[in-house]
């Protein structure tokens, strides 16, 4: 069964089947673009990176997977994706490029499931990514079939990355770091937040990344939104950006200063660094996820500016917050369901410490690390000190 797919996939069918059985799911109907990408082995259509509204509806890719029967898998696609299949055939035995919107996509998925699925399936869905009209059609077609939340199955499936995935995440982080260094060096007195963000977009794009976002602060302000606010001498810059490389997210934060950092700034960033390093030291395969949080929070409690500083860590990969989930509702709303589970080699973490200093501004480091058997591997670790602006 594991050799069914004609090309390497980042998961095994046996592992997926086990997760589905544990969750009480017979059939998966996967409708989120990030999980469709993952199940198809890294495929990304034009709508994956752009607005997906079209006509009166929207793009809705659907992967239909029956537990224990990967040979029955179907990919319901937009009609234009026939050309994609001609260039690089999908591994799914059934390819159905028949849809323009949500209702015809779900109609094709239902027809396939009735023809090749179990008689009374327990259907796993992604509630947050299933439009109402498609969900109603599915419920009407299978009135006696329970719909089961399958998000946990797919999160567990993605949690441990393959070497190829880790390479993408490392490369994305390195490219973002290089883009940030170039942008800070380019920016000078009078450069506005909007201009700096636009420059970072250019730097990331030229390095082969899809620019996702930039959260930027200048000076004493804690406001990270785009604005005409300009950089002044002696002021700090916090530059936090995500860039996408073939469907995998790099996300780090670095600090700049216009001029030379004074002793206070050096001390403030050293506080952040101490918290980060304490958390790093708890990362290793077999350690409970909560140990990372305890280590970071413990070091933070010893810092002079702890009252205006926050620490957290989370998993990342295909999206910016994914398994392992280490904290509850901090800052994103979800349960820290992996806090008491052991970390596994190949998991990827984002570790963040943020200071909202009342006079000096927003001071933050965010780092990406892969869990290894011996400890961790830091991705894109350059530029973690004060980067000087206006030096290009």
Domain range annotation of the chain? 13-158, 163-388
Q: What is the per-residue pLDDT for 265?
A: 98
Cα(350)–Cα(380) distance, rounded to whole angstroms?
12
Burial 334-351 (b: 16+ CB within 10 A, else e): eebbbbeeebebbbbbbb
pLDDT at 135 over 60: yes
Q: What is the per-residue pLDDT for 4?
A: 52
How confident is the model over 257-264, as a mean pLDDT? 98
Sign of the dihedral through C-alpha 158, 4, 45, 250? positive
Residues constituting the chain: 392
DSSP 374: S
How confident is the model over 263-283, as a mean pLDDT? 98
């410490």: which residue's tokens? 353
pLDDT at 6 over 60: no
In this predicted model, what pLDDT tens digit does every residue of 324-375 receive, in sequence order? 999 999 999 999 999 999 999 999 999 999 999 999 999 999 999 999 999 9
In this predicted model, what pLDDT tens digit does every residue of 188-227 receive, in sequence order? 999 999 999 999 999 999 999 999 999 999 999 999 999 9
How confident is the model over 260-275, as a mean pLDDT? 98
CB 279 within 8 A of CB 351: yes
DSSP 128: G
Cα(159)–Cα(65) distance, rounded to whole angstroms?
19
In this predicted model, what pLDDT tens digit does every residue of 173-191 receive, in sequence order? 999 999 999 999 999 999 9
163-388: CATH architecture: Alpha-Beta Complex (3.90)
**HSE value, Cβ hemisphere, 13 Å, CA-based, for 166:** 18
CB atoms within 10 A of CB 383: 18
The DSSP H or E segment spanning 66 is strand 62-66
CB 20 within 8 A of CB 223: no
Mean pLDDT for all residues in the chain:
96
pLDDT at 2 over 50: no
In this predicted model, what pLDDT tens digit does every residue of 29-83 receive, in sequence order? 999 999 999 999 999 999 999 999 999 999 999 999 999 999 999 999 999 999 9
Q: What is the dihedral of CA 253, 198, 249, 206, to 10 degrees?
A: -110
CB 238 within 8 A of CB 255: yes
CB 362 within 8 A of CB 355: yes
Confidence of residue 1 (pLDDT cuts 50, 70, 90): very low
Alpha helices in 236-336 (DSSP H): 263-280, 289-300
Both tokens of residue 324? Answer: 């392992």
Q: What is this structure's pTM?
A: 0.95
Q: What is the per-residue pLDDT for 227?
A: 98
- Nearest CA among 295, 299, 285, 297 for reference residue 341: 285
Q: Residue 97's beta-bridge partner residues?
A: 77
SS3 188: coil
Q: What is the per-residue pLDDT for 7?
A: 67
Question: Is domain 13-158 annotated with CATH 3.40.980.10?
Answer: no
Say yes or no: do domains 13-158 and 163-388 share a fold: no
In this predicted model, what pLDDT tens digit does every residue of 91-119 receive, in sequence order? 999 999 999 999 999 999 999 999 999 98
Residue 68, classified by CB atoms within 10 Å of its CB into exposed (0-12), middle (13-18) or buried (19+), is middle
């Amino acid at each position: 069964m594991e050799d069914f797919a004609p090309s390497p996939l980042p998961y095994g069918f046996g592992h997926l089947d086990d997760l589905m059985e544990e969750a009480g799911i017979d059939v998966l109907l996967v409708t989120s673009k990030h999980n469709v990408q993952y199940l198809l082995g890294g495929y990304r259509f034009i709508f994956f990176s752009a607005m997906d509204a079209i006509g009166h509806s929207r793009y809705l890719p659907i992967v239909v997977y029956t537990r224990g029967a990967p040979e029955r898998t179907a990919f319901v696609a937009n009609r234009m994706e026939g050309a994609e299949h001609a260039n690089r055939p999908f591994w799914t035995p059934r390819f159905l490029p028949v849809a323009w919107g949500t209702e015809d996509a779900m109609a094709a998925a239902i027809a396939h499931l009735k023809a090749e699925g179990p008689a009374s399936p327990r259907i796993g869905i992604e509630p947050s990514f299933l439009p109402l009209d498609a969900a109603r059609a599915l419920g009407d077609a299978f009135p006696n079939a329970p719909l089961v939340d399958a998000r946990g199955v797919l999160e567990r499936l993605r949690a441990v990355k393959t070497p190829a995935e880790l390479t993408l995440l490392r490369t994305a982080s390195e490219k973002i770091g290089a883009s940030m260094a170039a942008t800070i060096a380019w920016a000078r007195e009078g450069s506005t937040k909007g201009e700096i963000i636009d420059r970072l977009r250019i730097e990331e794009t030229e390095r082969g990344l899809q620019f996702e976002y930039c959260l930027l602060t200048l000076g004493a302000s804690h406001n990270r939104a785009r604005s005409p606010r300009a950089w002044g001498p002696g002021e700090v810059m916090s530059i936090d950006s995500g860039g996408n490389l073939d469907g995998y997210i790099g996300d780090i934060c670095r600090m700049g200063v216009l001029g030379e950092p004074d002793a206070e700034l050096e001390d403030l960033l050293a506080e952040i660094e101490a918290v980060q390093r304490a958390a790093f030291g708890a990362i290793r395969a077999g350690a409970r996820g909560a140990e990372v949080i305890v280590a970071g929070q413990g070091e933070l409690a010893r810092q002079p500016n702890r009252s205006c500083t926050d620490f957290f860590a989370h998993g990342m990969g295909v999206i910016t917050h994914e398994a392992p989930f280490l904290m509850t509702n901090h800052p994103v709303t979800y349960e820290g369901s992996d806090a008491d589970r052991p970390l596994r080699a190949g998991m990827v973490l984002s570790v963040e410490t943020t200071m909202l200093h009342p006079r000096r501004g927003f001071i933050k480091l965010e780092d990406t690390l892969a869990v290894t058997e011996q400890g961790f591997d830091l991705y894109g670790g350059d530029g973690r000190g004060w980067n000087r602006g206006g030096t290009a």
